[in-house]
């Protein structure tokens, strides 16, 4: 009897162990399936693919043009409900915030431009907190109401950076590749609470543009071209989220690690002679990633599905959905990636590739003029 009891215990133990192993394996499969840790750039990009290979639909928002809202260059797009906030680069040292509704109708300029304490001087980023908006401009972080009226100055912020976010009543400034840290954290009174830095690699002072902060279900991801890593802020830690794997290629990060004492002007000839591989721009939605990268002096794109880990590398994309054009996204909302199209691009393409089909792209080409504001193109990923 004791022997049978012992055998019974052993069987139960083995079944339990098998169940635990199965659960771990399933969790590991799910983790590897949906959470891409390493993004490889070893496959040769296709010369040409169709947009329908990774996009299910396209929609457009023509932005209204009038004497009060001429867009020179879109440096950032933010979506808040039915409002579209566009940071417009007027000159090299002057920006403004223009607000449009979801149909493209111009609603007004947000706040007053200027260096005054109640004005907005060269805005870097805007975020929404309840019924207020926080603006990080050249000198400070200040609060405005929903109409753009000044409410209060929070604190001075004349430090490097283009992106910030609020979490747990703390204001976090992202400094990318500039010191004093990847993230500096403040309370609403402007007291510095903590500086967060990744342990390895250290930060590099560089002049590369393209730094980006992305909120994915309240998990904040940070990209800068100088790093081979997309960092994330989780549980008050800076942790690696994605690793860019260019195999044996020299990258910007490797060059900066090799020449740690060089200032940006001194790095220029080194970069030219080495032709590094690196990611130029990185955008992410809940289910997809889209990036532009440079490898062996060739510029390519990569689209990644976080649902099934499928990846597509390509150099050129044929818009076979509505016979329109394609460009580089500068923002994302839901699973749509947003591409600003200049009217002159649309008109040239329409005249060169005349199509009898009355697609939305062709209809937009019939109603816009060459000097109009850009048209926002939304491509919905699904592959």
pLDDT of residue 303: 97
pLDDT of residue 7: 45
CB 84 within 8 A of CB 101: yes
How does the average pLDDT of the chain come out, rounded?
88
pLDDT tens for 340-352 read 999 999 999 988 8
The mean pLDDT value for 100-104 works out to 97
331 has pLDDT over 60: yes
In the Cβ-directed half-sphere of 329, how many Cα atoms lie within 13 Å? Answer: 24
Residue of 375, 369, 378 whose CA lies nearest to 62? 375
311 has pLDDT over 50: yes
304 has pLDDT over 80: yes
61 has pLDDT over 90: yes
pLDDT of residue 14: 42
3 has pLDDT over 50: no
Placement of tokens 């649902």 in the chain = 307
Lowest model confidence (mean pLDDT) among 46-50, 56-60, 82-86, 195-199: 195-199
The mean pLDDT value for 298-326 works out to 95
- Quick one: how far is CA 116 from the chain centroid? 31
CB 73 within 8 A of CB 89: yes
* Cα–Cα dist 73/380, whole Å: 24
CATH superfamily of 39-381: TolB, C-terminal domain (2.120.10.30)
Residue 180's pLDDT band (cuts 50, 70, 90): confident
- Residue 87: Cβ within 10 Å count: 22
pLDDT of residue 32: 40
CB 63 within 8 A of CB 100: yes
């Amino acid at each position: 009897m004791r022997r049978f009891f012992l055998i019974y215990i052993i069987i139960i133990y083995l079944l339990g162990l098998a169940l635990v192993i199965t659960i771990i394996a399933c969790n590991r499969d799910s983790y590897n399936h949906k959470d891409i840790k390493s993004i490889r750039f070893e496959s040769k990009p296709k010369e040409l693919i169709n947009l329908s290979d990774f996009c299910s639909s396209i929609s457009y928002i023509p932005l209204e043009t009038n004497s009060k809202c001429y867009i020179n260059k879109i440096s950032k797009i933010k979506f808040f409900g039915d409002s579209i906030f566009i940071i417009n680069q007027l000159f090299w040292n002057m920006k403004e915030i223009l607000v449009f509704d979801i149909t493209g109708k111009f609603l007004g300029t947000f706040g007053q431009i200027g260096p005054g304490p109640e004005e907005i001087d060269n805005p870097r980023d805007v975020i929404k907190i309840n019924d207020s908006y926080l603006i990080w401009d050249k000198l400070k972080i200040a609060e405005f109401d929903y109409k753009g009226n000044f409410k209060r100055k929070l604190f001075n912020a004349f430090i490097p950076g283009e992106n910030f976010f609020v979490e747990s009543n703390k204001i976090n400034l992202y400094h990318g590749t500039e010191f004093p840290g990847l993230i500096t954290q403040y309370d609403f009174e402007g007291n510095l609470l903590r500086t967060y830095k990744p342990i390895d690699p250290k930060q590099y002072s560089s002049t590369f543009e393209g730094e980006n902060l992305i909120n994915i279900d309240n998990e904040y991801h940070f990209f800068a071209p100088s790093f081979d890593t997309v960092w994330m802020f989780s549980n008050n830690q800076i942790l690696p989220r994605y690793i860019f794997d260019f195999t044996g290629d020299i990258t910007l990060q490797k060059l900066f690690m090799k020449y740690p004492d060089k200032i940006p002007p001194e790095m220029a000839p080194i970069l030219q002679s080495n032709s590094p591989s690196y990611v130029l721009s990185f955008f992410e939605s809940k289910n997809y990633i889209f990036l532009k990268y440079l490898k062996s002096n060739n510029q390519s794109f990569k689209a990644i599905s976080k649902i099934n880990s499928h990846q597509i590398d390509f150099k050129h994309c044929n818009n076979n959905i509505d016979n329109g054009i394609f460009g580089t996204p500068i923002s994302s909302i839901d699973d749509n990636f947003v591409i600003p199209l200049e009217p002159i691009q649309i008109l040239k393409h329409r005249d060169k590739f005349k199509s009898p089909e009355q697609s939305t792209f062709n209809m937009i080409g019939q109603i816009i003029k060459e000097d109009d504001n850009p048209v926002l193109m939304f491509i919905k990923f699904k592959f």
